[in-house]
Structure 1
């Protein structure tokens, strides 16, 4: 397993553009650049392992920020400064950041600092402290609901899971972030996540999956080769070949990656030396295996980077020394075994106990609460849906009841109309209209026959003519000559008795023209003597005609509604149906249905 680069550091590092490189780093030169340019320059030197230059830029950065009393930039200065310092100095920088963050009550800054401290402890193989700081960072990230920092912590926790052998769980985390572009939008981050995933697959012997991702990673480096990442993939290819029994291929790839990482003093050398020793063991070159395992021990003493497989290494070194009868080396490696084993045991035991308690259990509790909340929300949605459905059902029932009540009322109206019309048609042979009676405001009884039109709509079995107020009558008489009134009334009588109102397209203008009068006189007389305006007068005549015709003429009833409407002078069946209902209070369909019922009865 490789010592992987930290994802959170990549997130917090705010520039990798390498916009310029300084030949001289005196303050006069550095003073010309802004904070972003200084940061970029720092990473340029830091990633080229130019420690002196990167330290000088970090120092100036902090000095500039303090001079300007810019707390935000002082914090950024501490971030870059701690990267190129030894452990003790780096911790001091990060502790200074914690003090500043507490003063400003900045939870995001607190989360960042604790995650950086976790990374620093991880780098120096102090995994107990690494976990504790990750958990603190996660706490503050959650307080502020900062998803980016939460995700960064999840990635770093996955590295710790790799250390204690929970590679399958770690693989799920790495695979999720690899395919979630939001978290691995940066090319370098994406490569490091893929490298982490391949490591896990190799540890759990998913060799085909490991091979697929190695090839995918190598293809992604063709255009823009990053030597660090390229050599990581060479190492992973070597481990894959080792597991597949291709020892010569494994040796070639591992030696290439060893030359690169040993030149930059990278801690990944420890893992490469372990794999090289394993290769030579498989090849039967025990002297070479002993040589590389001895180099590994030397590196472990120097950089304190340990991993569980070291127990196997020291057992090999002890047994090899015993076979060579080299008691001094045998005693030395036994002593080294106990020291490393103690550290491994402490770290493994601590992580095995604390990771589930401090990370897995709270995470499961959160998931539990989330599931409970989701179920509660589903219940609320279910109950709300049931309530809405019940309300809709009640509404439908109410509307149904209302429609039935309306239908019942309309049926009653239709029946009353039919009975009233039938009664009048049977009892009254003819109609007599006394014009003088109209002028004397006397009530008259219309006499209807089968072939005569009603002179007005009959309601409740009674024919009514509303008495006109005296002042209206006098006004009419004064404004319109008496002979004109009588002439127009005679014309209207003819208009009604000869069913001329059935003609399509009749208007006040056309009717006035036919009567050889003007629209003002005609409108005034209709309003005064008929008690309604022209439009209602015309419509009432047509509907009253229809009421009788539909009862008396079976053939007329059998016509299509559109034909009946046209016969009555309407432009379309919709206009007729609306006019019928407005006039009678019942629908045409109910009226026709009740006529059929009456005839069948």
Structure 2
């Protein structure tokens, strides 16, 4: 065989290998065609998705890698796995340096926190991050999608009027886009965005008792989803709303029909939040029909959902009141206690969500709004230079002012905390921290010396044995136990302790519980209500007010800072 023949043969082999490699390495578009029409959570897509991701990694194509991770989120059913891929999506999006991808990645993670975990605090944080990057893009669809999800959070908080403003923006945008869009996939997305916003508006109007508007929008939603298999979930939400409205109008048979029709679809889509609400209303309908057994079964399904997911809407939490009443009537104290404890846990979770989110929505979203305004002005810098500079200065000044106020508050808290810890270290017992007696400014009643000595011993015993922790204690009650009259005891306390009896008693209680919080880490786990009851103060608000008055720091701040101190984080 000649040298030229060998070379030709060798080049032929190499060409064959290269061609075969080209054939086994499909393009991104070819890979996505294999799974893009599959349903959400369909694991059959995952082998192709993994191939797509690996190809993007090999080619350092971070834009495609972000898309691949987003697909992995969509087709994985396990919520924790979704969350893992959501973080990977964010990392790849940042490497792509494209604001649209970064914003969409944060939004995707927020939706997982909202829909799969019902963690409103975490979802809110991700939405705000998404908004921060979305305002730096021209992607109006993405911006309106974030607006919609922020509206859902506002609606949950009870800010229905503000939420309606956001949903109106979403409806107007999606409706206009759907009418003019020729691409079937895009038109479907716009229609779904329109229907979801419509559903949320029905909820808001219903909670604002604007029943005519709620009914009108509900009719639109039911008409738009009738015989539309692609919008079966959206129709289920409208059927759910119809059932609730019929219930409110005392039309229980109609309510039962619509709620039962909506429930299977909503449960199939694993929307446990609305499933719990439906079970709550079904339970009430059965009770009104006199079928207590079925009603209690529905309420227990609500409890089962809460035990699995640790979340309920306030509406569904009312199931526990019915269960408590049911078992109270039957004198079943064990069941009554269980459901009472469950209701307290549910209410505590709702309270935490509301106190956190109200502050976060105001601070983070309003500041994000300033960033958007600043960015829009920067884009027109050649036309409105002076205005841009002015707005930037004002925005920066506001941000610096907010930062300064926050730091001042934190510094003040640390100082107050340090002063309180120092005081607690210098006294051994609560009564030692009481104010020193001052000369009376009114006419003084002279007490017999023998009585003074007797009262000193009794007060000392009263303090040493922490009898001041008894709830409902008054000067009259204590005087009766000391076998003296209230006037003498009140005069003695004022002369010896320098304050009136009520202040003396309150100071003892506050100093006692403060020492416990400082010395026993277990006390840091109790609620403010529990702490107030432990030291004999019936009102939570009175306890919180006097704690701050005596110690110079709010009880919640002290608990937070002491917990950090114990961990070594302060």
Structure 1 distance, partners of 2:124, 2:77, is 21
Name the SS of the counterpart of 1:273 in structure 2. helix
Q: Which of the residues 212, 215, 234 maps onto 1:208?
A: 212
Spell out the pairing of 1:331-480 with structure 2 (5 A cutoff): 331-360=337-366, 363=369
Spell out the pairing of 1:302-321 with structure 2 (5 A cutoff): 302-321=308-327
Gap runs ≥5 in structure 2: 1-20, 179-186, 388-570
Given that 1:46 and 1:54 are in contact with CA atoms closer than 8 Å, whether structure 2 keeps it comes out as no
Structure richer in helix, relative to its length = 2
Deviating above 6 A after TM superposition, structure 1's stretches of 4 or more consecutive aligned residues are: 30-33, 364-371
Judging changes above 3 Å, is the alpha-carbon distance between structure 1 residues 79 and 289 closer, same or farther for their aligned structure 2 residues?
Answer: same
Q: Which residue number in structure 1 is paired with residue 65 of structure 2?
A: 74
Q: Which residue number in structure 1 is paired with residue 279 of structure 2?
A: 273
Structure 1 distance, partners of 2:285, 2:31, is 45
Q: Which of the residues 130, 143, 155 maps onto 2:148?
A: 155
Q: Which of the residues 225, 229, 252 maps onto 2:257?
A: 252
Q: Which residue number in structure 1 is paired with residue 88 of structure 2?
A: 96
Structure 2 distance, partners of 1:288, 1:144, is 53
Q: Does 1:53 align with 2:44?
A: yes
Q: Which of the residues 46, 56, 62 maps onto 2:53?
A: 62
Name the SS of the counterpart of 2:135 in structure 1. helix
Q: Does 1:195 align with 2:186?
A: no
Q: Deviations over 1:519-539 (max 9, x none)?
A: xxxxxxxxxxxxxxxxxxxxx
Gap runs ≥5 in structure 1: 1-27, 381-601
Structure 1 distance, partners of 2:225, 2:26, is 32
Judging changes above 3 Å, is the alpha-carbon distance between structure 1 residues 200 and 328 closer, same or farther for their aligned structure 2 residues?
Answer: same
Q: Does 1:126 align with 2:137?
A: no
Q: Which of the residues 207, 219, 223 maps onto 1:219?
A: 223
Q: TM-score, normalised by structure 1?
A: 0.52
Q: Does 1:238 align with 2:243?
A: yes
The higher relative CO (CA closer than 8 Å, separation ≥ 6) is in 1
Q: Deviations over 1:44-98 (max 9, x none)?
A: 4334x54x32333433332343345432222111001113243332222122222
Given that 1:270 and 1:305 are in contact with CA atoms closer than 8 Å, whether structure 2 keeps it comes out as no
Structure 1 distance, partners of 2:198, 2:232, is 16
Judging changes above 3 Å, is the alpha-carbon distance between structure 1 residues 103 and 35 closer, same or farther for their aligned structure 2 residues?
Answer: closer
More deviation, 53-62/196-205: 53-62
Given that 1:42 and 1:80 are in contact with CA atoms closer than 8 Å, whether structure 2 keeps it comes out as no
How many angstroms does 1:144 deviate by? 3.6
Q: Which residue number in structure 1 is paired with residue 129 of structure 2?
A: 136
Q: Deviations over 1:131-176 (max 9, x none)?
A: 1111111111223454333222111100001111112221222123
More deviation, 55-64/233-242: 55-64
How many angstroms does 1:342 deviate by? 1.9
Q: Deviations over 1:162-217 (max 9, x none)?
A: 11111222122212321333555522222222112212222222222122222212
Structure 2 distance, partners of 1:300, 1:191, is 28
- Of structures 1 and 2, the larger Rg is shown by 1
Name the SS of the counterpart of 1:306 in structure 2. coil
How many angstroms does 1:34 deviate by? 5.2
Q: Deviations over 1:469-490 (max 9, x none)?
A: xxxxxxxxxxxxxxxxxxxxxx
How many angstroms does 1:231 deviate by? 1.7
Q: Which residue number in structure 2 is paired with residue 548 of structure 1?
A: none
Q: Which of the residues 172, 176, 179 maps onto 1:179?
A: 172
Q: Deviations over 1:203-262 (max 9, x none)?
A: 222222122222212222346333222222211110111122211100111011113323
Structure 1 distance, partners of 2:30, 2:256, is 43
Q: Does 1:107 align with 2:99?
A: yes
- State how many pairs are aligned: 346
Q: Deviations over 1:91-150 (max 9, x none)?
A: 221222222233333222211111111111112111111111111111112234543332
Judging changes above 3 Å, is the alpha-carbon distance between structure 1 residues 310 and 188 closer, same or farther for their aligned structure 2 residues?
Answer: closer
Structure 1 distance, partners of 2:224, 2:259, is 21
Structure 2 distance, partners of 1:317, 1:31, is 62
Given that 2:144 and 2:169 are in contact with CA atoms closer than 8 Å, whether structure 1 keeps it comes out as no
The root-mean-square deviation of aligned C-alpha atoms, in Å, is 3.3
Structure 2 distance, partners of 1:305, 1:260, is 20
Structure 1 distance, partners of 2:223, 2:276, is 27
Structure 2 distance, partners of 1:350, 1:40, is 43
Structure 1 distance, partners of 2:157, 2:363, is 15
Judging changes above 3 Å, is the alpha-carbon distance between structure 1 residues 113 and 198 closer, same or farther for their aligned structure 2 residues?
Answer: same
